[in-house]
Chains A and B, each alone.
Chain A
Amino acid sequence: MRVKNDTMHLAGVYTKMIFRSWFQYKVDAILRSLAVFCREATGILVIYFTLTKFDNLNGWNIYELLFLFSLLFVTYGILIIFFTGLRDFGGTVRNGGFDRYILRPRGLLFQLIFSNADWFAAVGHGGLGILLFLLSAGKVGVVWNGITIGYYIVTIIGGVLIQGAVFLFLATLNIYLLETNSIKELFYWNARKFAGYPISIFHKAIQFVMIYVVPFAFINYFPAQFLLRKEDMAQYPEVYMYLTPFVGVGMYLLAYLFWRKSIKHYKSSGN
């Protein structure tokens, strides 16, 4: 129990440091949250106005689409608190910062996560996610009871883990390649662009990627199907609506094993 308290204490000290660093530049800190919020919200507005011209997208109305987006933003908001250090891991390896983590008697992932948490961007992304949820949740015909709320929470955790696993996997690749930004661009950010829409509207190849390669479909599309029950779900196995937490935990474990193995490689090949 003491060990646990001690770890929580350190996490607290790291968080305090991050806030104090940011508040050295107070205006920038606040503008940062706002800028992230506006950048992402603009994208949503474009979709909103486009959709008012069409009525629906493969059976999904505008509120259902906003609900789909809200899952993406809420999970990313939480993700960015915990996984910014992994997203920016390439730079940390290149500038020698990772060596310093190795020299401190604490878990490497723990240090990476808590010393880099980006709370301000999290407020921007998460705030937009919550706003979209509030706008849409009452208008998509979901009865919010114990089961649906429980399902929603588990889905959020699973969605964070899926993206966290992708970040961890890409971070680990840095140990071998030193520069992985273009791979990240290719797999993560491009997949995320598709993920705002019902995947049923895309070509089969894209659907395949979204389900089996970078499984964004399990972050929002399949969970939304459990809650909304749209007709296009018929083309996928029904069990997919229940797989999000398992995909999340499974992917994260695999990424973690890859990470552990690669730390050994770093020590034997480092620069």
Chain B
Amino acid sequence: MSFIEVSNITKSFRVSRRSAGIPGMLANMVRPKFEERKAVKDVSFSIEKGEMVGFIGPNGAGKSTTIKMLAGILCPDKGSIVVNGYVPYRQRKAYVAGIGVVFGQKSQLQWDLPVIDSFELLKAIYRIPEEKYRKNLDRFLDMLDMGSFVNQPVRQLSLGQRMRADIVAALLHSPQIVFFDEPTIGVDVLGKETIREFIRELNAQDEVTMLFTTHDMQDIEKTCKRLIIIDKGAKMYDGTLQEIREKYGTSRQLVVEFGEEAVVPPMENVVITDIEDRKKSFVFDNAKVNINELMSHLLSRYNIRDLTVTEPEIESIIQRMYNGEV
């Protein structure tokens, strides 16, 4: 039995469906119509203790719903979840005492009070002994460089500062498992780097098991070895980043800057897109198209100023997975 064991979970919501306009509204009041929308479809995975797993997918893919089920806020319609021996949605109090959850979009801090006051409240809520509280607080404040603003009211903080404070708030009680739901959303580059560094260190030093969702592939590349991709509620991929690169990384992108306006007719196995006025991108599979032939074909027909070949970013691979191309 793994530390986190998710087996065949399915979750659907009833969304009210009504026709437009006032007649539709009235009809809806008399006899509401509901539509089943499947948010998560038959998803299974298991995570070992101390693992750090990135959970990605486009908006509405079912990431947050899955996190909510893992955290015990929602229960699955079908399937089962066991985390650290607990069933999250049944043994609420015992279970949540050992987990931490960060919702990047929803702060748990007291808006009008200094950050430290929210921490004191959490100390009482989680019954954290004084000594442990001091130790954790000092360590996290230092790691996240928060000394300068811990006594400022939350409403005066920048988004990056607030996010760091929210992360500490979720960790004061030394949870064994932490769920991060978009912990870097809206944070600037430097702030993101601080947060990633912190997450990496915490995982390495304390063996905290972590699962986090993000839209920023940099987050994943810099923190997680393992990646779970879901789309339209179903799991599409579960493995390492390395494997993705090896398996799907044979595509290449050729960026060509033309000396004048150029019209390039469609080519077999090559996706052509305009970047700028005189700049086009040619994406193709290295195994199917000979790059030398493609280049000499272009050079012989057009006035070309510049040429660059790049390997695909992990982001574009995932983009293609969402589009069902790979």
Contacts and interface: CB of A to CB of B under 8 A. Distances in A.
Contacts of A20: 113, 117
A99 interface: yes
B153 A24 contact: yes
A267 B73 contact: yes
A65 B16 CA distance: 48
- State which size class the interface on B falls in: 20 to 34
B93 A17 contact: no
Interface in B68-122: 68, 71-75, 77, 89, 92-94, 96-97, 99, 101, 103, 106, 108, 110, 112-113, 117, 120-121
Given A102-B73, A268-B74, A269-B14, A10 B103 contact: no
B93 A24 contact: no
A104 B112 contact: no
Interface in B259-290: none
A271 B68 CA distance: 10
A262 to B, nearest CB: 14
Given A17-B113, A24-B112, A267 B75 contact: yes
Contact of A103 (B14, B101, B113, B127): B101
Given A20-B117, A267-B89, A270-B74, A10 B96 contact: no
B30 interface: no
Contacts of B101: 103
A268 B97 contact: no
A105 interface: yes
Given A14-B121, A24-B113, A102 B72 contact: yes
A24 B153 CA distance: 10
B189 interface: no
A269 to B, nearest CB: 7
Interface in A71-119: 95-96, 99-100, 102-106
- Interface SS majority for chain B: mixed
Interface string A10-33: 100110010011001100000000
Contacts of B92: 102, 105
Given A96-B103, A268-B75, A104 B96 contact: yes
Nearest to A263: B92
A24 B156 CA distance: 13
B326 interface: no
- Residue among A6, A9, A99 with max Cβ neighbours from chain B (10 Å): A99
Contacts of A269: 13-14
B190 interface: no
Given A20-B113, A24-B113, A267-B75, A105 B121 contact: no
A269 B14 CA distance: 8
B126 interface: yes
A20 B116 CA distance: 13
A99 B93 contact: no
B20 interface: no
- A-B complex: 7 closest residue pairs judged by Cβ atoms: A105-B97, A13-B124, A21-B112, A105-B93, A267-B75, A24-B112, A10-B124
Given A103-B71, A105-B126, 10 more contacts: A9-B124, A10-B124, A24-B113, A24-B153, A25-B112, A102-B96, A103-B73, A105-B93, A105-B96, A269-B13
